[in-house]
Amino acid sequence: MEKNTKTKAAAKTKRRILSLSAFTIIMILIIMLGISTHFLKPAVFAGDVLVNGSGVEKASLSQILMSPILGFADAIDIGIFIFILGAFLKVVNSTNAIEDGVKVLIKKLHGREIILIPILMFIFSIGGTTYGMLEETVGFYALLSIAMVAAGMDTLVASAVVLLGAGSGVLGSTINPFAVGAAISALPEGMAVNQAHIIGIGTVLWLTTLLVSIIFVMRYANKVIKDKGSTFLSLQEQKGMQERYGDKQKRLNVSLSKKQKLVLVLFFFTFAVMIIGFIPWEDFGINIFTKTGKLTGTPLGQWYFYEGALWFLIMTIIIGIIAGMNEKTLVDTIIDGADDMVGVILIIAIARGASVLMTQTYLDNYIIYNASVALRNMPAVIFAPLNYLLHVGLSVLVPSSSGLASLSTPIMGPLAAHLGYSVEATIMEMVAANGLVNLFTPTCGAIMGGLALAKVEYTTYLKWVGKLIVIIGLLNVLVLTIAMIIL
């Protein structure tokens, strides 16, 4: 009996140690990066220019400590966007339009709520493959948490629908300018690529990853619907989920008022315009939005977080007025909504600190250069998986697809061409590896911020999604190796 008590106590202690907060995980990573620079070769400069791949600069104590603070400056655009997004969601939620709308939808689906999963994941994946929709999905975590909890599932399902849906598309980017576009533009002048090959490889990666992800999420969702005890969430997470999103299955006999219907129309219109605004239409030869910049000063298709923030602020005020809020109530609700997002923004900003520290110490450049040297003279069947694994490791440290493309492609592209391998497949190895890592890395603000909104601990999500990540990685390697051999 005493032995069992000790065993249980040890198990609880182990769980407490493993269940670190997102803040602690990110800070440990930053400290480890800083320490690692003291065990690598020092950088060599020719005048003021770094000798490529020569080494790193040792991180000082102040650089390590300041990197999370500088992460705030690096994340100021998405921080402002999320603040105003929080205000928007709070004002909309105060009308009960979403809650009552979900109840009406669940009532109409009548036991077929599970079909929402493949439909929504496919829609999110289109955004991912076309324009790299990932950080922009943060607001959907709260919305889908309401829907999935009301449908008898949990917030882990809601998080997976958004993250794995959009992430599958980003992993298999076809025309994503922030991944494929950035990589192509980073190639040395005169090095041509076949866009059809890139789109073909991207499509196969996108659809295979999406299919596996949908099956994985639907199997879990079905278990939770049939037996609430099958949820992967801890008791504490379940409590947080119920406090935030409530058990809305018990009160489905509702109808929407005309005012609520109008709020819902404006709600979806707001997100539709945001998505249209973020897609770089001119890169695809579509010029119909060139004269749409009167509202934000920037035409649709050239928007980013500042323009998105202004758009959400405008719609927040409009919806508040339609809902009948007076000035004081509207302002108080906006402040409360922004306040709800403080924790999310802190996580995203601190996560950016890792990239800041790597840039300051030249650690990112050092890793890329030396890895490319190690891959010389490798046969295609080995080059492809090793290059993929290299970029998996790099993406943990540099989660930005455009940032990684700018670092990697000028070196790896010419190396692949010199060895007689497909430059297109090499580019997609970088894109796919970066996309895989952005399904689980703590340095990705979309993950940490989204999970915080859904009341899911990062360690819980990581343990739940681990097997799927391995399966996706193996599928990616298979597809990319075949592409490298064939092309």
- Tell me which H or E stretch contains 49: strand 49-50
Task: Write the CB contacts of 484 (distance below 8 Å, at least 6 apart in sequence).
Answer: 380, 381, 383, 384, 421, 422, 425, 426, 429
Q: In the prediction, which pLDDT does 106 show?
A: 67
| Residue 323, domain member (yes or no) | yes
Contact criterion met (CB below 8 Å) for 357 and 30: yes
**Is 4 a residue whose pLDDT tops 70?**
no
CA–CA separation, 66 and 325 (whole Å) = 42
Report pLDDT digits (tens) over 455-467: 899 999 999 999 9
**Is 190 a residue whose pLDDT tops 90?**
no
Work out the pLDDT band at 14, boundaries 50, 70, 90: very low
**Is 352 a residue whose pLDDT tops 60?**
yes
Phi, psi of 290, rounded to the nearest 5 degrees: -65, -25
**Is 10 a residue whose pLDDT tops 60?**
no
| Residue 203, domain member (yes or no) | yes
**What number is the average pLDDT over the span 426-446?**
89
Give one DSSP letter per residue of 133-188, joined into a string: -SGGGHHHHHHHHHHHHHTT--HHHHHHHHHHHHHHHHHT-SS-IIIIIHHHHHSP
CA–CA separation, 185 and 44 (whole Å) = 28
Report pLDDT digits (tens) over 89-113: 889 888 888 767 766 776 777 778 7
CA–CA separation, 277 and 358 (whole Å) = 32
Report pLDDT digits (tens) over 287-341: 888 888 888 888 888 887 788 889 989 999 999 999 889 999 999 999 998 887 7
For residue 164, give the nearest of 175, 156, 174, 153 by alpha carbon: 156
Report pLDDT digits (tens) over 394-427: 887 777 777 777 777 877 888 888 788 899 999 9
| Residue 115, domain member (yes or no) | yes
**Is 19 a residue whose pLDDT tops 60?**
no
| Residue 409, domain member (yes or no) | yes
| Residue 3, domain member (yes or no) | no
Q: In the prediction, which pLDDT does 250 show?
A: 47
| Residue 10, domain member (yes or no) | no
Contact criterion met (CB below 8 Å) for 170 and 131: no
Distances from the Cα of 25 to the Cα of 18, 75, 251, 381, 401, angstroms: 10, 18, 39, 35, 22
- Find the domain containing 120 and state its range: 22-30+56-486
Work out the pLDDT band at 82, boundaries 50, 70, 90: confident
Q: In the prediction, which pLDDT does 291 show?
A: 82
| Residue 14, domain member (yes or no) | no
Query: What's the chain's average pLDDT?
Result: 83
**Is 265 a residue whose pLDDT tops 80?**
yes
Q: In the prediction, which pLDDT does 102 show?
A: 66
**Is 432 a residue whose pLDDT tops 80?**
yes
| Residue 370, domain member (yes or no) | yes
pTM above 0.75, yes or no: no
Distances from the Cα of 107 to the Cα of 151, 253, 266, angstroms: 9, 8, 22
How many domains, in total, are found in the chain? Answer: 1
**What number is the average pLDDT over the span 63-85?**
85
Distances from the Cα of 447 to the Cα of 137, 159, 370, 419, 443, angstroms: 10, 9, 30, 37, 8
**Is 33 a residue whose pLDDT tops 60?**
yes
Q: In the prediction, which pLDDT does 118 show?
A: 93
**Is 169 a residue whose pLDDT tops 90?**
yes
**Is 11 a residue whose pLDDT tops 50?**
no
